[in-house]
Chain A
Amino acid sequence: MRQKQRHPGRGAQQRRFALVGCLSLIGLSLGGCLGEMPTPMGGLDRQLEQAGSSQAPALAGRWLALIGGRGGRDQVLLVDVERALPVPLPGLNRPDAQPLSVAVSRDGNRLAVVRQLDGRTELVLYRRELMGLETIAMQPAGVPRRVSLRADGHELAVEVSRGGHWQIDLIDIP
């Protein structure tokens, strides 16, 4: 009997494999149910936290565009994710404008922004290299809300309300 415990037979080995198999299956099942935790980017998160409230994120390449603010005044921010540093956007933000949605191209040069200004809602394209801002008119007329940009920045999709009906326009950008 003692010898049998020291050198388990084939049946015992099979039972051990079966037990290990069952435990692995249970583990895999639980993993599938619960999901794996994504890895938080703590340093960047702390910076964003310090900047006040932040919302409406848009990622492309190394860039994170978002709407952030302190004291009720929101503005468009562009953050270099790899350096965890914001970059300046001269000529884009103004104190009397309320940004609602933002998207960025992969090279970080183009930002599409929906904002409220002077009682109306408009879609604008900002080119960082040129520090230039251009209004993109809705045709037919409509009220834009959310915007998405193709990674190269040469096409956008925008959600537009026309007569209470929500539609999506696709606009090519030279």
Chain B
Amino acid sequence: MLTAALGMTLVGCGSWSWGRRSAGPSGLGDGHRQDPALSGNGRVLASIVERGGRATVILQEQPSGRLLPLGPLQRQQPHRSPSLSWNGRYLAVLVQQGGRRLAVIEDRATGRLQRLPLPADLEPQRLSLAPDGRRLAIEVVRSGRSVVQMFDLGSLLEADLPGGLPATGGGWSGAGSTRDDEAASPAPR
């Protein structure tokens, strides 16, 4: 009770003093930046910009803002709803292929693109990748109704855990070398 009361008091103090910064210009397209997604460790920011009239995901190292390279995904626009794993190794995003929208995951460590086909009657709208890369939530429209569906990716992806090496994009020699000692610590409950 005391904790709750203290919390409410602190909450009333306002947020004016919190550190703020703009993600800054990407140097691409018309300057609009949308759909932000931070990696679990906060060192990579994904966002959507217009490039050549097509929605394109970009990755920026934080806090430097340096653009990071993309692999096969850079040819799969338009992009929508990016989501990153803990170290930014996996980038999940919706792409348009022909008349269909498709969820894909790029492994920035190996350059491999993993397509995740859904039944034809499900139209994906948004997605979220768990920071460890083990689960994926996809908002789909079925019969005109939005529903979130959960998928276990344990058999498809190696986990990306705290303490793993950052993926630099376009293949990475340290692929899969996450540190199991840190990985073994469970999330707070």
Contacts and interface: CB of A to CB of B under 8 A. Distances in A.
A143 interface: no
Interface string B126-161: 111111000111110000011111111111100000
Contacts of B11: 127, 130, 132-134
A53 B147 contact: yes
A39 B39 CA distance: 23
Given A64-B137, A81-B135, A107-B187, A151 B86 contact: yes
A40 interface: yes
B141 to A, nearest CB: 9
A56 interface: yes
A166 interface: yes
A61 to B, nearest CB: 4
Contacts of B38: 148-150, 155-157
B21 interface: yes
Contacts of A41: 135, 150-152
Contact of B126 (A40, A56, A136, A158): A56
A44 interface: yes
Contacts of A119: none
Interface string A138-174: 0100000111111110011111000001111111111
B146 A132 contact: no
Interface string B42-64: 10010100000000000000110
A36 interface: yes
A62 interface: yes
Given A150-B38, A167-B23, A170-B20, A39 B7 contact: no
B145 A53 contact: yes
Contacts of B153: 38-39
A80 B36 CA distance: 24
Given A57-B139, A170-B22, A35 B146 contact: no
A53 B18 contact: no
B16 A131 contact: no
A71 to B, nearest CB: 13
A137 B14 CA distance: 9
A106 B33 contact: no
Contacts of B146: 53-55
A165 B150 contact: no
A49 B129 CA distance: 20
B45 A168 contact: yes
Nearest to B26: A168
A85 to B, nearest CB: 13
Contacts of A24: none
Contacts of B184: none
B116 interface: yes
Interface of A: 33-41, 44-45, 48-49, 53-62, 64, 66, 68, 81, 106-109, 125, 127, 129-137, 139, 145-152, 155-159, 165-174
A-B interface, 10 closest residue pairs, ranked by CB to CB distance from nearest: A130-B7, A35-B115, A172-B19, A57-B137, A38-B151, A157-B36, A151-B40, A168-B23, A61-B187, A150-B42
7 contacts: A41-B152, A59-B130, A60-B131, A137-B16, A150-B40, A167-B23, A171-B20
